[in-house]
A = this chain, B = another copy of it.
Amino acid sequence: MNTLPAGDPAPETDRTGAPGLDERTARVARLTRAAGASFAVLSGYDAVFDATGLRVPQELGVPFVSGGPDLALVAPDGETWLVVPRMRAGAAHASRADHVIEYGDDTLGLEPLAPRYLSGVRAALAALPARGDVLIQPDSLTLPVAEALRERGHDLRDITDPLRRARMVKTPAEWAALQRCADLTSAAQRVARQAARAGRTELEVFADIRAVWDRAVGHRSEVTGDFMTGIERTAAIVGWATDRVLREGDPVIADLAPRLDGYWGDSASTFVLGEPDPRLRAMHAAVRGALDAGLAAVRPGITAAALDAVVREAMPGFSYPHHTGHSVGAASHEFPTISPGVEVPLEEGMVILLEPGAYDPEVGGVRLEWMIRVGADGAEIMSDFPLDL
């Protein structure tokens, strides 16, 4: 254990007193101590990765070898336990977790898995005190695990909000990992511009984009985002690549978001195959101006809501019905969202996306998105790809 998965940054210097404890694990441990809780049970895929370095696959669908979500248990001193199916135990042993509880029977497929999962959970709990409050993530914690905790007499308390706030400001290891994600999105954006040609399908272009990521991660890459071409599809704001054939004059929105070593990148560009419609050109200029206004306004202390307003107000006559941006990390969308009403001040060391857009059913859509580190003196741009139409 305490071996990092391939490609992961080195462990960081301890900031909490426990020698050698990774800062990402330490901040969960601190939350647990601050809450006076006995331990935390993490069930969200991103929280499990954050606390232990175990990358729970996100492209596979629900694994048939699992009896429930992978769990990470974190004690107030930072000691960690993972509960994982045996087929994925190798990855767990290669993580930062101190203890790995395997359940199931490798690949023989004996039924049913749920009791085996629960036995694994109970085995992990046996090492932890059977008293006091336990911090949980209710959105992903399944009922049998909650009941196993309550049977031991624990009161369950929601860690969701404190945890997402604790993860807002990234650590140096996370900055490095997210910069690699930004580089990967930038490389894909450049390929997207070359690969998008009249006569090809969106899926064929997207396959070229995916190949960039597959090569970089060395296995099937996990992806989210949008790839849309033509007036109707780009005006619809969101959508995966389809079998639509690209045509001369099409607008293209490439909103590209791959996962690398457990962290997510994100990015968006808009370009046209051939000569842009003057109306699309005007939309693009407005969105570009709004993004620039946002970049200029980023600084520690400005609230997400105020930044949102700066961007929206910088494009009079145009608007978008979605958020202005979001934080990013072990999840593709983290707290805070850059949206109206989110009165959360930015802090130095956060990593965010700004992604203003404009959409017109008769003209098509435009979206531009760059990844930014909030520096002491303002935005430090992490993306490196052209935003031209």
Contacts and interface: CB of A to CB of B under 8 A. Distances in A.
A60 B57 CA distance: 11
Given A62-B45, A207-B210, A210-B207, A109 B220 contact: no
Interface in A303-344: 321-323, 326, 331-333, 335-337, 339-342
A259 B59 CA distance: 13
Contact of A203 (B46, B215, B322, B339): B215
A151 interface: no
A342 B322 CA distance: 51
B220 A206 contact: yes
Contacts of A146: 143, 146
A108 B45 contact: no
Classify the secondary structure of A's interface with B. Answer: loop
A265 to B, nearest CB: 14
Interface residues of A, number: 68
A142 B144 contact: no
A164 to B, nearest CB: 9
A214 B219 contact: no
Contacts of A109: 322-323, 326, 333, 337, 339
Given A143-B142, A238-B87, A321 B106 contact: yes
A366 to B, nearest CB: 15
A224 interface: yes
A107 B237 contact: yes
A68 interface: yes
A114 B163 CA distance: 15
A232 interface: no
Each complex incorporates copies of this chain amounting to 2
Contacts of A342: 110-111
Contacts of A58: 60-62
Contacts of A240: 219-220
Nearest to A324: B109
A139 interface: yes
Nearest to A59: B59
Given A62-B45, A240-B219, A141 B139 contact: no
Nearest to A259: B61
Contacts of A323: 107-109
A140 interface: yes
B241 A219 contact: yes
Interface string A203-215: 1101100110011
Contacts of A120: none
17 contacts: A45-B61, A58-B61, A61-B222, A62-B331, A64-B332, A68-B140, A107-B238, A109-B339, A111-B339, A114-B139, A114-B160, A138-B142, A142-B142, A204-B211, A207-B207, A219-B240, A220-B241
Interface of A: 44-46, 58-62, 64, 67-68, 87, 106-112, 114, 117, 136, 138-144, 146, 156, 160-161, 201, 203-204, 206-207, 210-211, 214-215, 218-220, 222, 224, 237-238, 240-243, 259, 321-323, 326, 331-333, 335-337, 339-342
